[in-house]
Amino acid sequence: MARPCVWDELVGQRTVAERLRAAVTADAVTHAYLLVGPPGSGKKTAARALACALVCDDGGCGACPTCYRVKKGFHPDVRIVSPEGAAGYLVEQVRDIIHDAHLAAVEATRKIYIIEAADAFNESAANAFLKTLEEPPDHVVMILLANGYDAVLPTIASRCQIVRLRRIPPSLAVDVLRERSGASEEDALAALAASGGVVARALDFVRSQSKREARRELLGVLKDLPAMDAADVLASARRVLEAVRAPLAEIKERHGAELAERKEFGGPLAALEQRQKREMTAREREAVLEVIDMTASWLRDCLAMAEGTPEVVANRDVSDAMDEVAAVLTAGAAVRALDAVAEARRRISYNVSPQLAVEAMLFDVREVLSCPR
Ligand SMILES: [Zn+2]
């Protein structure tokens, strides 16, 4: 058996792993990749594996301190970038990447940028980026990620080497998650439901006490929602938000370490602080979207139980608690409740405060569930 390496972490994408790995071995890595695949297919895992393979002295062993820091997102030469504006990448954010790309690497011989949501560039952000994407400094590799090829601006896609990832069958995702975390089938299903089917995020979820705590808090609120008065709903929204924000403490810790490192090695502090602030806002929005995903999956489960198909229920650990809702829920009511959840998602994308979006969602879902016909 081959010795373990970082590519083992990429599930169900053997061709992709072989192709990228061969490029590293042959020293034929191109300056820009666009990894395309549906949510949960492992784009970010593939990008991190490629980054590890490029900066690790052992070609991506997956186990050394360098690989560890890449995977945890705090290697100084591997930056993960996500859109910081409500509608996508900001021009100033792109300028920050370009400026940073022209600085020498801190520890490794390369600098790698993992650019999430490559479909979230508008024309002006893309225009600011194109020249650097086409001819980045020699030591730079850009790895762009997108759910679909067609959603990426052609000006961006045409400057990248395209790597396609296939959809991972849900049963394979469950198996892999169980194998890696030792979770039960029930816990694995619940973790995938709370993580949009993304194995890497589900792994984080299984391992994070505070994320599981937040889920418990939310599912408890949903169950009691029909019997709540307005004051209860407001208090519940506050509690749920507190619970989902708790895991952000880890990011604050990393920001502290980054700042300390910057102070030691030198460099502009204000720009870093600004970036950290923007990242915090983006992560907070992500945490709230998790609440929204979990609510949607809980409602779909209640409907599945109402329709007599309990085998497709994802949140099996709380199926007893869903019985009461399922007993009276009609398909029409479930659709109305899911519309309310979709509306919350829209509100978040329009930069409505998370507090207001979650409150409104819980009020709307309560209204449907207290009169579910
Ligand atoms: Zn390594």
Q: What is the pLDDT of residues 306-336, one digit of tens each?
A: 999 988 899 998 988 898 899 989 999 999 9
What distance in angstroms lies between residue 291's CA and the mean position of ligand 1's atoms?
A: 35
Look up the CATH number of the domain holding residue 89: 3.40.50.300
What distance in angstroms lies between residue 102's CA and the mean position of ligand 1's atoms?
A: 25
Q: At 196, is the pLDDT very low, low, confident or very high (cuts 50, 70, 90)?
A: confident
Which pLDDT belongs to residue 32? 97
Cα separation, 362 vs 61, in Å, equals: 46
Cα separation, 357 vs 362, in Å, equals: 9
160 and 38 in a common domain: yes
More confident residue, 87 or 229: 229
- 265 assigned to some structural domain: yes
The answer to pTM > 0.75 is no
138 and 237 in a common domain: no
pLDDT of 363 higher than 70 = yes
* Burial class for 182, CB neighbours closer than 10 Å (0-12, 13-18, 19+): exposed
Which pLDDT belongs to residue 340? 94
pLDDT of 232 higher than 80 = yes
Which structural domain, as residue segments, surrounds residue 228? 208-370
CA distances from 141 to 57, 98, 213, 243 (A): 17, 12, 38, 37
300 and 224 in a common domain: yes
What distance in angstroms lies between residue 53's CA and the mean position of ligand 1's atoms?
A: 7
Q: At 1, is the pLDDT very low, low, confident or very high (cuts 50, 70, 90)?
A: very low
226 and 104 in a common domain: no
244 and 137 in a common domain: no
Tell me the mean pLDDT in the region 268-276.
78
- 10 assigned to some structural domain: yes
Sheet with 140-146: strands ordered across: 78-81, 111-115, 140-146, 32-36, 161-164
Please give the mean pLDDT across all residues of the chain: 90
- Domain count of the chain? 2
More confident residue, 277 or 49: 49
What distance in angstroms lies between residue 203's CA and the mean position of ligand 1's atoms?
A: 20
Last residue of some domain: 137, 164, 191?
164
What percent of the chain has a predicted confidence (pLDDT) above 70?
99
Last residue of some domain: 106, 139, 164?
164
Written as six digits, the tokens of 143 are: 């790895």
- 283 assigned to some structural domain: yes
What distance in angstroms lies between residue 160's CA and the mean position of ligand 1's atoms?
A: 26
What distance in angstroms lies between residue 315's CA and the mean position of ligand 1's atoms?
A: 36
Last residue of some domain: 164, 193, 216?
164
What distance in angstroms lies between residue 66's CA and the mean position of ligand 1's atoms?
A: 6
- 61 assigned to some structural domain: yes
219 and 366 in a common domain: yes
- 201 assigned to some structural domain: no
Yes or no: say if 365 and 299 are a contact pair by the CB < 8 Å rule.
Answer: yes
What distance in angstroms lies between residue 46's CA and the mean position of ligand 1's atoms?
A: 15
Yes or no: say if 246 and 208 are a contact pair by the CB < 8 Å rule.
Answer: no
213 and 141 in a common domain: no
pLDDT of 266 higher than 90 = no
HEC profile of 93-150 = HHHHHHHHHCCCCCCCCCEEEEECCCCCCCHHHHHHHHHHHHCCCCCEEEEEEECCCC
What distance in angstroms lies between residue 344's CA and the mean position of ligand 1's atoms?
A: 41
258 and 133 in a common domain: no
pLDDT of 2 higher than 70 = no
360 and 212 in a common domain: yes
What distance in angstroms lies between residue 75's CA and the mean position of ligand 1's atoms?
A: 12
What distance in angstroms lies between residue 11's CA and the mean position of ligand 1's atoms?
A: 19
| Ranges 45-49, 66-70, 211-215, most confident | 45-49
Phi-psi label, residue 184: left if phi above 0, alpha if psi -120 to 50, beta otherwise: beta
- 15 assigned to some structural domain: yes
- 50 assigned to some structural domain: yes
Q: What is the pLDDT of residues 159-190, one digit of tens each?
A: 999 999 998 888 899 999 999 999 999 999 99
227 and 364 in a common domain: yes
Tell me the mean pLDDT in the region 3-30.
91
124 and 24 in a common domain: yes
What distance in angstroms lies between residue 70's CA and the mean position of ligand 1's atoms?
A: 9
What distance in angstroms lies between residue 55's CA and the mean position of ligand 1's atoms?
A: 8
- 223 assigned to some structural domain: yes
157 and 30 in a common domain: yes
Which pLDDT belongs to residue 50? 97
